[in-house]
Structure 1
Amino acid sequence: MLKNYFKIAFRNLWKNKTYSTINILGLTLGITCSSLLFMLVIDELSFDNMYEKKDRLYRLVEINSTSEETRQFGIVPGPTGKVLSEEYEEIEDYTRLYKFGGQIVFQHNEEPYQERAYYFAEPNFFELFNLEWIAGDPATALQKPFAVVIDEEWAMRLFGSTDVLGKTLDSGGETDFLVTGVIKKLPQNSHIQYKILVGLPTDWDFYKEISTSWDRYGAYTYLLLKENAKPESIHQKMEGFVANHFKNPQEHDFYLQALPDIHFNSAAIEYTSDTNRGEITYVYIYIAIGFFMLLIACINYMNLATAKALDRGKEIGIRKVSGAYQYQLISQFLSESTLFAFIAFFLSFFLIDLLLPTFNGLTDKQFEFNVATFGSIFMLISSITIIVGLLSGSYPAVLMSRLKPASILKGAMHTGKGSILLRKVLVSTQFTLSVIMIIATLIAYRQLEYIQDVPLGFENEQMLIVDINNGDVRERFETIKTEFAKSPYVEGVAVSSRVPGEWKSIAEVYTKNFGSADSIKMNYIGFDADMIDLYKMEMLKGENFSGNNAVDSLHVIINETAAKALNLQEPIGKFLSLTDDGTEQQLQIAGVVKDFNFQSLHNKVGPMILGFRSNVFQSIDYFSLKFNAEHTEEVLAHAESVHHLFDAHSSMEYHFLDEQWAAFYKEDRRVSNVFSIGGGVTIFIACLGLFGLASFIIQQRTKEIGIRKVLGAEATSIIALLSKDFLKLILLATLIAVPISWFAMDKWLQDFAYRVDLSWWIFAIAGIAVMAIAFFTISFQSVKVALMNPVDSLKRE
């Protein structure tokens, strides 16, 4: 019997090629797009799942409270983990990671290499965080100071092979690095990302101090709890621990953050080891869009299948007269819908393989198409395909199996008011989802365009930022500035400790009016005398730094927000007291600069102190080169030559500032791209469904249209008559979609300190666009029947 069902299904598929193509296309797009989105969801939800002890691993986070604010830190004093493991029996083990400097630098074959994705790690690190090894022993690889474990990418880059155990890397100092292990490339969905791990320098005085001092922060600490131990029990005892080891216990508290929680729940934590934080809201968005697409694809199939099933009325009637049971007819229709779904399923494999590079580019992921990486998604989509097949075929199957044979054979096929209402609900649902997607796309696009156009308070284009990575360069920076400026394509050079659009941590100092008892924590950046002019920042009051080192080192410049926070109406000449880590200075305000965005537009401008480049709080870290964009390659070549002249030990590390600003909104652009593509696909599939329903209705009203034409009705009035009911449904869908999309997008925009308004015309454009697309789809069928000879219409059975 089943063989016969599929035989008939194949016959109908081949006989009705246009209908079959439209059906398969809609299902293929739905399955393909939802599969790609669910891949992204699975990846986001599987962060840190590769570690065998993930359920017992916790990151130690400090809650630091002062009278001004409460903050959370992902780094803690060095001895914290060790002492906790000694004092609490619930803790089985601990491990620590450190970073000593922004990057690690070494030479190989007289070529400099550097890497920021590195940590100094304790010998037991791999006991807690297991990985796949290519060479070496994870139990002993990090036991010796400066032993290094590198990933396969670095092994191939340096040596052209992964057989590198025992080889050394020149550090340019007294100690070389000994390669003791090679690991597989770290999975992208690990919150800790590194390419090099280095054995701790236990004989360094600096390490001895930072690992034992309760006043020095720097240890990324992870605790392994015993089986069935609860982190809450440790936190309940934390008050006594803090009282025993900290000078000001009221300022310190700690909690244990479960490893699976780190990816989505670290937004409020500063100074962390996780470089790729996630937004659970976006995961919900991806899930919703994926299901939207599947639902619309199913509705589309239902409408098309219903429309086409009417052409098979006599076949159904004859089968019923011949003794076919209702369940057999239902089985036949379900077998056909399942066949369509599985054809679409297999076609989607090829489409996924084709689209995967583009999808990786849009999402900044590294998905690969093979059985090993796609095993779980194959199972998921296989299950979804079966559900899609059964769901999409259920309505036409039940509907057609209930028709009375006598009515069918007489040509009086009536499906009832209930089915008509259901079809209207399905179409309204399709277009409600489509309108939501289009509105979301328009708002997301407008917000990201707005971000590009918001005045930042400085110029970030044509700005090359070159990192300063050693003390020799800092000491000779004035000579290097002069050399950089010798290029005819370099318009100016400045140095600073940080740049606007900084991705590293910005120094913070406690600031108060001289003689006042109340202080405010403010951001602090060191500028030289050329920085404000180079970035074209606007001085509102006072003067810029003069270039006289002795004078400038006694002054600071503040922004508008800082002046307001300090309640200074006339700030020029006033003295401020700045304090950080016990260091205090009294400095005079020389000028006030207009507020500029030194962080992404997700954040409001905070109070900022601009100190002179030579200060006790933060040393210079960057050269900024304003250059002619038409000669970018020449500028880079010149900068490389200058860098090599003064720092032959490391390669030049640089970036373009406008690209760094664009990187702040990478996740937002990813969501915007998903909205755009999802909106296009959903409206396309929805129009296929509308095409099917239009075919269904018009086929039922063919004789009515013929009679109207005989009585003198114009083609335009017939088109209007046939389109009216559909456009009412789409108008209803728009009215439903507007409040839903307004609520959702208003919540999304709250993540931006600077945001567009939800203007009414955005919703109007979306509604009009959908109405126009739908009217064109309906008209394709309506015009055809309106222009038909009424004689032919009345002859049709």
Structure 2
Amino acid sequence: MIKNYLRSAFRNIARHKFISFINIFGLTIGLTCCLLILTYIVRELSYDKFNHNALNIYRVSRSFNTADGIVNLHLGAVAPPFGPLLKNEFPDIKKVTRLFPNGDVVLRYKEKLFTETGSYFADENFFSFFDLKTVAGDSKTALSEPYTVMMTEDMARKYFGNEDPINKEIRLDNTANFKVTGIFKPFPANSQMHPQMLLSFNTLNDDKVYGRNQLATNWGNNSFFTYLLLPDNYNIDRISSQFPAFIDKYMNFPGQPRQSKFTQLHIQRFLDIHLHSHLDDEVEQNGDIKRVYIFSAIALFILLIACINYMNLSTARSTLRAKEIGIRKVIGAQQKEIITQFLSESVLVTYFSLVLALILTCALLPVINRFSELGLSIDSLYQPIVLVSVSLLPLVIGLISGIYPAIFMSSFKPIKVLKGILKVGSGNISFRKVLVVVQFSISIILIVATTIVFQQLRYIQNKSLGFNKDHLITIGGGIPADKFEAFRADLLRNPAIKDISRSSRIPSGRLLDDQGAVVFDGDKPLPVKADIKSINVDYGFIPTFGIKMAAGRNFSRDFATDSNNFVINASAVRVLGWKTPENAIGRDMSYGGVRGKVIGVVNDFHFESLHQNIVPLLMEMPSFANNNYRRVSIKVGGANINSTLATLQQTWKKFQPETPFRYSFIDERIQRLYESEQQQSHLFTIFSCLAIFIACLGLFGLSAFSISQRVKEIGVRKVLGASIPQIVTELSKDFLKLVIVAAVIALPIAWYTMNKWLLDFAFRVSIQWWVFAMAGVIALIIAFVTISYQSIKAAMANPVKSLRSE
């Protein structure tokens, strides 16, 4: 029986080549889109699950509130004392481990000198939390001694070549030697952290590095990522509900109110961090569950469009198979057998499309990765549950897309069919119209989404940031205070170098520091409720970045007291209640315990990405803050950049021979803040075009079939004097009406969806009416072009031939 069904299915597919081609091609494109998106979704959902303890690992985070209870900062890391104290306070906690980012470091081994990223201080039990395969050394003891280090295989090969790295010593930042005690394989790509080098956490007990007392008492350095190992199926409310009392117990400062009023601890599931955590400080940039939902919806939409094509074309060609169905019924075929026959054809077509889609997916993945930089791999689909799902997908799609045509065609009355008086009911035509409307509604929504994403990206790229980001080079590592002036003077001899400055942070990063502001009314201190961020700068920062003064002056070498004075931005003026920049000049205030005067106000500028509002900002130039000048920024001319970079490198080596020269352009750093939006833009464009193409493919087939059924009508119209434009209009208008209905349905949905998406940006474009008009017009034009080929061909045909066949 099954063999007979398959034989009949193959015959019908071969007999109706045009319709079969459109069905197979449309389903292949739809399934390819699904498989491409599936590789992304599977990768995102698989993050960190390779750890055998993943379900029982939790991270402690810390938030800070204003006096009004509003959270203004939420960090993924906490202060160093919290880890040991939590373990002692709560017996349910099995283990605690900490990870402390060490930033960029300079490593030397013999003559090899490199700047390395991805270095962390890690507790000795780090490997009992996270599954890293140790290639050499004992992971249980490798980090127990201070001044020991474990590194990845690639890093070990980079420094030691074919030598055995164990017990070799490397010099870090030209300050201390670390002994290599272990080599490990790197974390897989689907991990939220990728340390290249793990330094013994016990090293931080040395007063030269951090200090044992600092680890026990420093509540202000919230840079220690702290992880807890809890029992199976543990109710974290048992611990988190006791956090306020825990904070007040250990952060009890005389003369100050309860600290739990201003800061809280929180627990996050480790497996939730990658897709659900978007805190102000993360180990690495995380993904976003909203992107997973968006692209899942796009995959379903595209697949739905392909299924609609199949249903439409199958029901449209029902009259061509009416006699076949009538004869089958006359010789005894039951309705369920006919339904099975048509469903078997549908499933066969879908499985064949899946094979083609898998081939196409493998071919397109490198192209998608080049456009989106997502690093997707077909290996994501090799998991057993995914393979089973993919193999069953054609069966589900075949049944969904084939069930309506099967039921519809199996319901034909054999007497009417064989007498030739079968008419396809109006209900069937109406249903096909609904399906066409659904197709084009989805396509129009995707057109609007793509347009608005592009608008927002262009807005980001062109919006004035309040400073000049062009031709600005930044170098990490800083220059010692005793060398900086000579370094600066040496560089400025080159006319291509315009200005130089130092700062603790640079635009394109996050502003995290808030050291507490106090303003004075005479000698009366008035605490400031607002959160004011700060950066350390030197005399050259404001002119180097081209930031405009709103009132007052910049820091100056002519005023020795400027080391105790402040420059603030316009937002800080407003939250401090000084109304205008001019009113702020000369005001007394204290920040971080340092009292001074406001000497200048700068116009607001975007230090962070446009996702964030401009925050109140204070710039200070304390004489003791040389070690906080972690960045050197250099303004250069736009001509002959390569020559200027060579000059910078030579001068850098002259003054910092032990530190490799590593630079970046500020505008490129700012552009990287919007990588996820760039990826979304590229993928939206690709999948929108494919969705529209599949919809047009179905419309092309449907219009071709519809027109072929009206050949004699067209011939009569031509004989009666109808012109080609009139005939084309007559044949096209019904389909174009459906596109207009689709636009009416789709545009409100598109507006709501994209308005929600734009809310993620503090600074965003407004959605213009013409975007919706353009999307509707584009859909109409595409539909008309699709239909007009068949319409014009039919209108230009010789009516004698069509009427003679009667």
Q: TM-score, normalised by structure 2?
A: 0.92
Counterpart check, 1:523 vs 2:525: no
1:289-304 paired onto structure 2 within 5 Å: 289-304=298-313
Deviation at 1:474, TM superposition (A): 3.8
CA deviations over 1:165-187 (Å, ceiling 9, x no partner): 34332336564222232222212
Contact kept, 8 Å, 1:507 with 1:617, in 2: the verdict is: no
For residue 587 of structure 2, what is the amino acid of its counterpart? F
Contact kept, 8 Å, 1:473 with 1:647, in 2: the verdict is: no
Residue 23 of structure 2 corresponds to 23
Q: 2:546 aligns with which of 521, 527, 536?
A: 536
Report the 3-state secondary structure (helix = DSSP H, G, I; strand = E; otherwise coil) of the residue aligned with 1:277. coil
1:18-97 paired onto structure 2 within 5 Å: 18-67=18-67, 69-70=70-71, 71-97=73-99
CA distance 1:194–1:795, shift in 2 (3 Å): farther
Counterpart check, 1:128 vs 2:129: yes
For residue 6 of structure 1, what is the amino acid of its counterpart? L
Please, which moves more after superposition, 696-705 or 434-443?
A: 696-705
Residue 339 of structure 1 corresponds to 348
Please, which moves more after superposition, 108-117 or 417-426?
A: 108-117
Structure 2 residue ranges without an equivalent (≥5): 253-257
Q: 1:550 aligns with which of 536, 539, 560?
A: 560
Please, which moves more after superposition, 220-229 or 733-742?
A: 220-229
For residue 125 of structure 2, what is the amino acid of its counterpart? N
Deviation at 1:37, TM superposition (A): 1.4
Deviation at 1:160, TM superposition (A): 4.1
CA deviations over 1:66-91 (Å, ceiling 9, x no partner): 52553433332323222222232211
Q: Distance in 1 between matches of 2:205 and 2:540?
A: 42
Residue 255 of structure 2 corresponds to none
CA distance 1:62–1:612, shift in 2 (3 Å): closer
CA distance 1:182–1:25, shift in 2 (3 Å): farther
Q: Distance in 2 between matches of 1:524 and 1:207?
A: 25
1:144-155 paired onto structure 2 within 5 Å: 144-155=145-156
CA distance 1:422–1:239, shift in 2 (3 Å): same
Deviation at 1:314, TM superposition (A): 3.7
For residue 571 of structure 1, what is the amino acid of its counterpart? N
Deviation at 1:371, TM superposition (A): 7.5
CA distance 1:506–1:478, shift in 2 (3 Å): farther
For residue 60 of structure 1, what is the amino acid of its counterpart? V
1:659-738 paired onto structure 2 within 5 Å: 659-738=668-747
Residue 211 of structure 1 corresponds to 215
Deviation at 1:232, TM superposition (A): 0.7
1:606-617 paired onto structure 2 within 5 Å: 606-612=615-621, 614=623, 616=625
Report the 3-state secondary structure (helix = DSSP H, G, I; strand = E; otherwise coil) of the residue aligned with 1:517. strand
Q: Distance in 1 between matches of 2:318 and 2:651?
A: 76
Q: 1:650 aligns with which of 625, 644, 659?
A: 659
Residue 268 of structure 2 corresponds to 257
Counterpart check, 1:368 vs 2:380: no
Deviation at 1:644, TM superposition (A): 1.8
Aligned residue pairs: how many?
789
Residue 586 of structure 2 corresponds to 574
Report the 3-state secondary structure (helix = DSSP H, G, I; strand = E; otherwise coil) of the residue aligned with 2:647. helix
Contact kept, 8 Å, 1:507 with 1:618, in 2: the verdict is: no
Q: CA RMSD in A?
A: 2.6
Residue 182 of structure 1 corresponds to 183
Report the 3-state secondary structure (helix = DSSP H, G, I; strand = E; otherwise coil) of the residue aligned with 1:176. strand
Counterpart check, 1:237 vs 2:247: no
For residue 219 of structure 2, what is the amino acid of its counterpart? D
Q: TM-score, normalised by structure 1?
A: 0.93
Contact kept, 8 Å, 2:517 with 2:591, in 1: the verdict is: yes
CA deviations over 1:117-160 (Å, ceiling 9, x no partner): 12111111111112233333322222222322222332333334
Residue 457 of structure 1 corresponds to 466
CA deviations over 1:527-556 (Å, ceiling 9, x no partner): 333332232222222223333361532433
Residue 569 of structure 2 corresponds to 559
Contact kept, 8 Å, 1:152 with 1:162, in 2: the verdict is: no
Deviation at 1:795, TM superposition (A): 4.7
CA distance 1:50–1:232, shift in 2 (3 Å): same
CA distance 1:536–1:106, shift in 2 (3 Å): same
Please, which moves more after superposition, 647-656 or 367-376?
A: 367-376
CA distance 1:511–1:668, shift in 2 (3 Å): farther
Contact kept, 8 Å, 2:39 with 2:380, in 1: the verdict is: no
Q: 1:495 aligns with which of 498, 502, 513?
A: 502
CA distance 1:653–1:379, shift in 2 (3 Å): farther
Q: Distance in 1 between matches of 2:206 and 2:587?
A: 41
Structure 1 residue ranges without an equivalent (≥5): none
Q: Distance in 1 between matches of 2:539 and 2:218?
A: 38
CA distance 1:282–1:721, shift in 2 (3 Å): same
Report the 3-state secondary structure (helix = DSSP H, G, I; strand = E; otherwise coil) of the residue aligned with 2:52. coil
CA distance 1:629–1:656, shift in 2 (3 Å): same
Q: Distance in 2 between matches of 1:338 and 1:225?
A: 48
Q: 1:510 aligns with which of 517, 542, 549?
A: 517
Kindly report structure 1 stretches of 4+ aligned residues shifted beyond 6 Å.
none
CA distance 1:117–1:576, shift in 2 (3 Å): farther
Please, which moves more after superposition, 636-645 or 431-440?
A: 636-645
Counterpart check, 1:760 vs 2:769: yes
Q: Distance in 2 between matches of 1:550 and 1:766?
A: 62
Contact kept, 8 Å, 2:551 with 2:585, in 1: the verdict is: no
Q: Distance in 2 between matches of 1:413 and 1:475?
A: 97
CA deviations over 1:487-514 (Å, ceiling 9, x no partner): 4432332222222222574565425245
Contact kept, 8 Å, 1:494 with 1:528, in 2: the verdict is: yes
Residue 416 of structure 1 corresponds to 425
Contact kept, 8 Å, 1:135 with 1:163, in 2: the verdict is: no
For residue 332 of structure 1, what is the amino acid of its counterpart? Q
CA deviations over 1:665-707 (Å, ceiling 9, x no partner): 1111222222211211111100111112213322333333333
Q: Distance in 2 between matches of 1:174 and 1:763?
A: 62
CA distance 1:77–1:627, shift in 2 (3 Å): closer
